[in-house]
C-alpha cells in the first residue's frame, strides 16, 4: 500500500491532506472550548448550530463547487481555499459574540466544501492505475481515522501547556502547510467541459450525471447507510457509555478508538478484498451487516442490562468500524469509473453534497431519538435506515455492472464524441446510461 507514496506529487498532496486534517482536529477541540467561554451551559446549542451550518454549507456549496472547479486553474483554486480557511482560523480566537462564530464557521466550511471534492477529484488524475488509486483511498481512510484518534490527545496536551487559544495557531499552520505543499506540485492540466454549456448546466452537471448512473444511484443509497451508522456512533457513543452503562470519559474514548481501529483494519485489507470480490459485493454486504449490528445491539439492550453488555457494544463498534470503512473506501473508485476527466470535479462535488445531505438527516434523527425514545429504539431505527439504504442499493445497482456499454446511436455522426470515446478505458456516465441522458438531459451530451 505504501508504495503509492513513491509518486512525489501524490506524496506531497497526501501530506497536505494529513496536516490539514490535524489542524482541523485541533480546531474542533478549540471551538468547543471557545463556545463554552462565550455561552457557558448553552455551549451545546452553539456547537449544534455550528454543526448544522457546516452540513448546510457542505450540501449547498458542494453542489456549486463542481461548476466552478473547471473554470479556474486547479492548483490556484486549492491554494486560495486553504488561505481562506487559514484566515478564518486566525480570526476565530478574537470573536466575542456567538453570531460571529456562526459567520466564520459558514465561511470556513464553505471553503472546505469547495476544497475537499476538488482535491479528491485531482488524485485519480495523478494515480491513473486503479490499484494505485485504491491504495490511495485506503491511505486516506486511515488518515481520517488516525486524525480522529490522535488530534484530541494532541489538543489535550497543548491545552495543558499553552491554553486552548493556541490550538487555533495549530489550525492556521495546518492550512498554510497544506497550501504550501499544493503550491509546490505540478497538477495535470484541467480538461474543460463543453464551452457552450450554461452556468446552470455546469452547476448541475455533476448531480445530473450522478443521478443518471445506476451504480451511483446505488452509491447514494449506500451513503444513507453510512450516515445512519456514523451518526449513531458519533452522536450517541457518549450517551451509551456515560448514561446507559454509567462509565467514565475514558470509556467514551475507548469506544471511539475501537470503532476507529476497526475502520483502519478494513482500510488496510480492502485493496486485496476489492480485487477478489468487487466493489458492489463488498459495499452492499457491509451495509446489510451494519444494519443487523445496530438492530442486534438495540435488541440486546432492550432485553437485558448489565456491565457485561459493554463488551458486546465494543464488539459491535469494532465490527461496525470494519463495515463502515468497507462502504466508504471504494466510493472514489466508483466515481472515477463513472466520469471522464473533465467531469470528475463536478461528480466528486455531487457525491460530497449528496452524501452530506444524508448526514443532515441522520444527525438530528440520532440526537432526537436518543433523547426522547432511548438507545434501544434509536439503534433499531438507525439500523432500519441503514437496511433501507442497503436494500435500495441492491435494487438500484445492477449486479452485471459493466464499465463499457456499446453505443447504439445510428442518428449520431461517426465523429461524435460519444461514439469516438466508446470502448476506451473507464467510460463516462454518458456511455453507461447514454439513452437516459440523451432523452432527459440533452445539455449533458455536449
DSSP 367-429: HHHHHHT-HHHHHHHHHHHHHHHHHHHHHHS-TT--S------TTS-TT-HHHHHTTSSSPPH
In this prediction, residue 380 carries a pLDDT of 96
In this prediction, residue 446 carries a pLDDT of 33
Burial class from Cβ neighbours inside 10 Å (0-12, 13-18, 19+) for residue 99 reads exposed
393 to 223, 336, 397: CA distances (angstroms): 9, 19, 6
In this prediction, residue 246 carries a pLDDT of 86
The pTM score is 0.80
CB of 26 within 8 A of CB of 170? yes
Task: For domain 1-190, give its CATH number from 1.20.1250.20, 3.40.47.10, 1.10.10.60, 2.60.40.420.
Answer: 1.20.1250.20
Using DSSP, state whether 206 is helix, strand or coil: helix
Q: What percentage of the chain reaches a pLDDT higher than 90?
A: 28
In this prediction, residue 423 carries a pLDDT of 41
Q: Pick the closest to residue 313 from 381, 255, 398 (CA basis).
A: 255
> 194-397+412-446 is classed in which CATH architecture?
Up-down Bundle (1.20)
Length of the chain: 446
In this prediction, residue 330 carries a pLDDT of 92
Cα angle value 78/79/85 (rounded, 5°)? 90
* Angstrom distance (rounded) from CA 324 to CA 317: 10
Domain positions in the chain are: 1-190, 194-397+412-446
Query: Where on the phi/psi map is residue 213: left (φ > 0), alpha (ψ -120 to 50), or beta?
Result: beta
In this prediction, residue 67 carries a pLDDT of 67
Q: Which residues of the chain have pLDDT under 50?
A: 404-413, 415-446
Cα angle value 6/10/16 (rounded, 5°)? 120
In this prediction, residue 424 carries a pLDDT of 39
Using DSSP, state whether 228 is helix, strand or coil: helix
In tens, the pLDDT along 179-208 reads 999 988 877 765 555 555 666 677 778 888
Amino acid at each position: 500500500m505504501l508504495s503509492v507514496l513513491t509518486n512525489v506529487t501524490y506524496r506531497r498532496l497526501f501530506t497536505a491532506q494529513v496536516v490539514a486534517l490535524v489542524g482541523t482536529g485541533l480546531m474542533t477541540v478549540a471551538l468547543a472550548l471557545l463556545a463554552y467561554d462565550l455561552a457557558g451551559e448553552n455551549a451545546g446549542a452553539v456547537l449544534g448550530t455550528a454543526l448544522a451550518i457546516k452540513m448546510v454549507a457542505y450540501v449547498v456549496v458542494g453542489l456549486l463547487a463542481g461548476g466552478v472547479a473547471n473554470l479556474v486553474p486547479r492548483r490556484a483554486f486549492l491554494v486560495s481555499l486553504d488561505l481562506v480557511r487559514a484566515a478564518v482560523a486566525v480570526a476565530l480566537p478574537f470573536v466575542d459574540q456567538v453570531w460571529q462564530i456562526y459567520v466564520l464557521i459558514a465561511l470556513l466550511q464553505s471553503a472546505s466544501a469547495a476544497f475537499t471534492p476538488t482535491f479528491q477529484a485531482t488524485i485519480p488524475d495523478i494515480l491513473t492505475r486503479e490499484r494505485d488509486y485504491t491504495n490511495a483511498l485506503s491511505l486516506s481512510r486511515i488518515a481520517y481515522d488516525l486524525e480522529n484518534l490522535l488530534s484530541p490527545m494532541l489538543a489535550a496536551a497543548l491545552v495543558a501547556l499553552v491554553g486552548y487559544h493556541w490550538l487555533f495557531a495549530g489550525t492556521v499552520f495546518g492550512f498554510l502547510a497544506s497550501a504550501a505543499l499544493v503550491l509546490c506540485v505540478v497538477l495535470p492540466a484541467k480538461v474543460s467541459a463543453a464551452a457552450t454549456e450554461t452556468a446552470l448546466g455546469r452547476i448541475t452537471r455533476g448531480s445530473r450525471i450522478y443521478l443518471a448512473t445506476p451504480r451511483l444511484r446505488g452509491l447514494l443509497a449506500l451513503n444513507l447507510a453510512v450516515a445512519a451508522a456514523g451518526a449513531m456512533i458519533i452522536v450517541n457513543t457518549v450517551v451509551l457509555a456515560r448514561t446507559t452503562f454509567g462509565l467514565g470519559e475514558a470509556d467514551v474514548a475507548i469506544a471511539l478508538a475501537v470503532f476507529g481501529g476497526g475502520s483502519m483494519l478494513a482500510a488496510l485489507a480492502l485493496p486485496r478484498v476489492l480485487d477478489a470480490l468487487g466493489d458492489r459485493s463488498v459495499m452492499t454486504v457491509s451495509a446489510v451487516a451494519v444494519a443487523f449490528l445496530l438492530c442486534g445491539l438495540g435488541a440486546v439492550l432492550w432485553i437485558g442490562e448489565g456491565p457485561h453488555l459493554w463488551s458486546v457494544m465494543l464488539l459491535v463498534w469494532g465490527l461496525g468500524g470494519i463495515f463502515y470503512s468497507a462502504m466508504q473506501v471504494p466510493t472514489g473508485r466508483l466515481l472515477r469509473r463513472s466520469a471522464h476527466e473533465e467531469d470528475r470535479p463536478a461528480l466528486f462535488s455531487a457525491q460530497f453534497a449528496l452524501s452530506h445531505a444524508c448526514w443532515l438527516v441522520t444527525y438530528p434523527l440520532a440526537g432526537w431519538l436518543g433523547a426522547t425514545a432511548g438507545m434501544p429504539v434509536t439503534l433499531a431505527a438507525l439500523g432500519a435506515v441503514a437496511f433501507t439504504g442497503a436494500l435500495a442499493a441492491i435494487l438500484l445497482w445492477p449486479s452485471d455492472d459493466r464499465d463499457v456499454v456499446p453505443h447504439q446511436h445510428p442518428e449520431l455522426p461517426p465523429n461524435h464524441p460519444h461514439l469516438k470515446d466508446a470502448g476506451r478505458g473507464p467510460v463516462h456516465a454518458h456511455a453507461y446510461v447514454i439513452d437516459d441522458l440523451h432523452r432527459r438531459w440533452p445539455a449533458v451530451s455536449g
